[in-house]
């Protein structure tokens, strides 16, 4: 007998999930974030990824994506089944292993979406001068965190980079010094995969929260 999905989201396409997330956070922007000074008026809500997972391990029960809003850019894990996060409190921290290494996530919850996990990448997002640059960065981040390394040593280095980032340190550059940009200066139009990882901000409880 074929096992039936526990929840309709298991059958939803990534595009449909992205549309739901975008609609929700556009409403949050209009209702909760109106006139809040941390908004970057050059940006709008956009979601990327959230396809049905085809990998094993920790990724087998989560959709992985990146959510961009005018006030943050977050890596996001959306459980296939709402029951996965039953009993988890809002703001509770969890560590999950992705191909790029271990990432620290915080539990979030919205009535229209249920419980989910977020990992802060940029908050606020004044370093992005336009929507195109922010979207390119979001896509590059998603590609990097899901990229399976060709050699074990590469993954080991990526994990070392991420551990330093979570401690508030930037890993040493390979060939040239990379200076962390001022939060109000535009980000470069394109970033290499290594530069994307090294440009991630340290996570903090304040930057993870959705609500103002």
Give me the mean pLDDT over the 204-210 stretch. 41
d(CA 31, CA 29): 6
Place of tokens 């006139």: 35
Q: How distant, in Å, are the alpha carbons of 72, 149, 186, 211 from that of 16?
A: 22, 29, 31, 24
Q: How distant, in Å, are the alpha carbons of 8, 23, 25, 95, 190 from that of 103?
A: 27, 26, 23, 6, 23
Highest mean pLDDT among 122-126, 161-165, 200-204: 122-126
User: Is the pLDDT at 190 greater than 70, yes or no?
Assistant: no
The reply to whether CATH 3.40.50.1980 applies to domain 8-208 is: no
Residue 195: predicted pLDDT: 54
> Which of these ranges, 19-23, 57-61, 204-208, has the smallest mean pLDDT?
204-208
d(CA 205, CA 143): 25
pTM of the model: 0.70
User: Is the pLDDT at 117 greater than 50, yes or no?
Assistant: yes
d(CA 143, CA 75): 11
d(CA 126, CA 182): 9
Residue 158: predicted pLDDT: 57
Sequence-separated (6 or more) residues with CB below 8 Å from residue 1: none
Give me the mean pLDDT over the 178-207 stretch. 47
Residue 118: predicted pLDDT: 96
Contact assessment for residue 208 and residue 108, using Cβ atoms and an 8 Å cutoff = yes
Give me the mean pLDDT over the 95-112 stretch. 89
d(CA 191, CA 194): 8
How sure is the predictor about 206, in pLDDT bands with cuts at 50, 70 and 90? very low
């Amino acid at each position: 007998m074929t096992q039936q999905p526990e929840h309709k989201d298991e059958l939803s396409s990534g595009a449909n999930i992205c549309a739901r997330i975008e609609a929700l956070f556009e409403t949050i922007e209009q209702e909760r974030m109106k006139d809040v000074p941390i908004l970057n008026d050059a940006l709008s809500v956009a979601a990327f990824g959230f396809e049905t997972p085809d990998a094993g391990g920790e990724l087998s029960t989560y959709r992985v994506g990146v959510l961009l809003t005018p006030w943050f850019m977050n890596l996001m894990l959306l459980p296939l089944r709402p029951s996965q996060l039953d009993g988890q409190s809002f703001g509770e921290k969890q560590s999950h292993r992705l191909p790029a290494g271990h990432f620290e996530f915080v539990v979030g919850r919205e009535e229209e979406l249920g419980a989910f996990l977020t990992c802060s990448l940029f908050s606020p997002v004044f370093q992005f001068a336009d929507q195109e640059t922010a979207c390119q960065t979001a896509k590059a981040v998603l590609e990097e965190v899901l990229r399976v390394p060709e050699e074990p040593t590469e993954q080991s280095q990526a994990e070392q980079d991420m551990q330093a980032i979570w401690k508030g340190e930037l890993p040493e550059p390979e060939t040239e010094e990379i200076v962390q940009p001022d939060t109000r200066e535009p980000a470069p139009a394109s970033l290499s995969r290594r530069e994307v990882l090294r440009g991630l901000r340290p996570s903090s409880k304040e930057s993870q929260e959705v609500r103002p």
